[in-house]
Structure 1
């Protein structure tokens, strides 16, 4: 998870010629601290609770900037709903096909696995994504 102070976020926005509005800062904090891999619509809905006038364009522009800077990844799925992940280190996304929840699995085993692949294939790899589909505990218990 990327932890950035308000000052670092403001500097980041200014560097890219964007005003560090309270709305943009709220979007940055929300996504960088999120553990649920939210959709843009979820981010908009949650941020609107505090900032009633925030626009969809502001959310998308801010997400696009964070993606361009490598601070978040956009995860696309068959249901055409992109989700956003603030973890840039190698990890596994555990996805429940019933409720679409996504959790992260991080371990040294995953890191070692990735390092071995990287050594075998070469260093020009430009991205990776490991997904495991599993019925989550909430859906399993709710049967």
Structure 2
């Protein structure tokens, strides 16, 4: 090293006083500060990204849980509706069969009544009523 250059430098510092920074910033110190700042920023970004992913995961889980809970009710309502539809169809078939059977019964009763009306004559009813039957008595006219 050249003795003159070192002396100039130390004399320059000594003229400004101890602890006073030199007018030119130290490049290595700025570089180190920049690297520290960038490292902290990267850590914050990673932490923020991690929290964002966790929030998305939690929101997805919550959404799935809510949808599953609602789907249980919807599925139950759907099954109930299917059962009701089946019961309605069964009831319609049974009602149609009942109406048909009722119509047949009504027809049979009407035919029976017609047969009784046709066969209703005094000579047929006398042996049915037997000896206890008395002819109606005429009341005297006033």
TM interval, shorter chain, is under 0.3
Bigger relative contact order, structure 1 or 2 (CA pairs below 8 A, ≥6 apart): 1
> Which protein has the larger Cα radius of gyration, Structure 1 or Structure 2?
2
TM-score (norm 2): 0.17
Select the structure that is richer in strand. 1
* Bigger fraction of residues in helix: 2
